[in-house]
Amino acid sequence: MSARDDIIEVPIEIKTSDLDELHRLIEELQEAKGIVDNTSATKRRMPSSGGAPIQNNVEERETLGIYNERDTDMLALPTKGRDKKSRQAVETGNAFKDLRKEVKDMQQTQDNLIPFITQVGSQLGFSLPFLAQGGIRLGKGIKSARLQANLVTPVKSAQVTSGLAKAGITFGKAIPYIGVAFMLGDFLVNQLPDIIAENLFGVGKRLDRRFKRVIEHEYSVGVSREEKAQIAQGYRSVITTSFVSARGATNVANSKVRALNKENLYNKSEEYML
């Protein structure tokens, strides 16, 4: 209680005990950091000067632990082929790095192989009609060969010869249709679903499931001439942000309440409202 000249005052001071604890914690951490700094900077004591003896047998020192990397790399630095005075960084071996490299190589191989297979497949698809034409020619060739052979040395049955020829021709004629059927099947089974999915469910398309665009919310705010005039003359400010809590006092209060109730702050239906 104090009376300052012509006024009565009761001083009130806020002392945050939790924050004092925080301050103490910071100090303790600072001390810990100092200890760590000193430890890393202290030179190792040699056995001759009273330090612990150097352990040569690595097997005895080995510990069991998930972070024990000495299983693969026993030495932190290579002992051979390195200039001791060099300050260049030395990359030590690491099993995880090797595994990652292996996976990367496999990925590279697959990346190279898949276009090759695709190319072969497409070549085959294109060559099927030509193969069909070849089949027709083959059938005709068989027929003519048989006829010529019949002229030289008649076979047992002319009907058999003509039947074979007809079969060859029929098969040859069917080959293009078979090729087209294969191509059509491939298109229907593999390519058409992708095209449909891309056009319906793709980015920004009608059935894009990631967000639903409400077009009225996007343009309705700015279309009124009165509002445009207000914006142009500076009577109204437009906050263009997707962060709901930055749009005004009401939303700030709402977002705080939502945050306290552990609800979702980002109402997607309001995302496009200015």
Partner 1 sequence: MITLLEHTISRLRQTKDRVNSFIDRNLVDWAETEMVTPAQKDLLQAGLSQEALDGLTINKTGFMKISLAWRYIKDGKPLHFYIEYDTRPHWIEAKGRLHGGSNFLTWEGKDGRQMFAKKVYHPGTTGKHLIENAAKQYKPFLKQRVITETNNFMKVNRL
Binding positions for partner 1, rule: CB under 8 A: 1, 3, 6-16, 19, 22-23, 25-26, 29-30, 32-33, 36-37, 40, 256, 259-260
Smallest distance from the beta carbon of 74 to partner 1, in angstroms?
23
Beta carbon nearer to partner 1, 24 or 228: 24
Smallest distance from the beta carbon of 30 to partner 1, in angstroms?
6
Smallest distance from the beta carbon of 23 to partner 1, in angstroms?
7
Tell me the angle at which helices 225-233 and 215-223 cross, rounded to the nearest 10 degrees: 70
Q: What is the DSSP string of 152-172?
A: HS--S-HHHHHHHHHHHHHHH
Beta carbon nearer to partner 1, 3 or 151: 3
Asked if residues 111 and 137 have their Cβ atoms less than 8 Å apart, the reply is: no
- Give the DSSP H/E element, type plus range, for residue 151: helix 95-152
Q: What is the DSSP string of 62-90?
A: ----TT-GGGT---SS-SSS--TT-----
Residue 256: both structure tokens together: 């705080």
* Calculated CA dihedral for residues 97, 101, 102, 108, nearest 10 degrees: 160
Smallest distance from the beta carbon of 32 to partner 1, in angstroms?
6
Beta carbon nearer to partner 1, 23 or 268: 23
Look up tokens 């390195």; give the residue: 82
Beta carbon nearer to partner 1, 193 or 248: 248
Smallest distance from the beta carbon of 66 to partner 1, in angstroms?
19
Beta carbon nearer to partner 1, 7 or 189: 7
Smallest distance from the beta carbon of 77 to partner 1, in angstroms?
20
DSSP state of 187: I
CA gap 11, 216 in Å, rounded: 56
Beta carbon nearer to partner 1, 36 or 124: 36
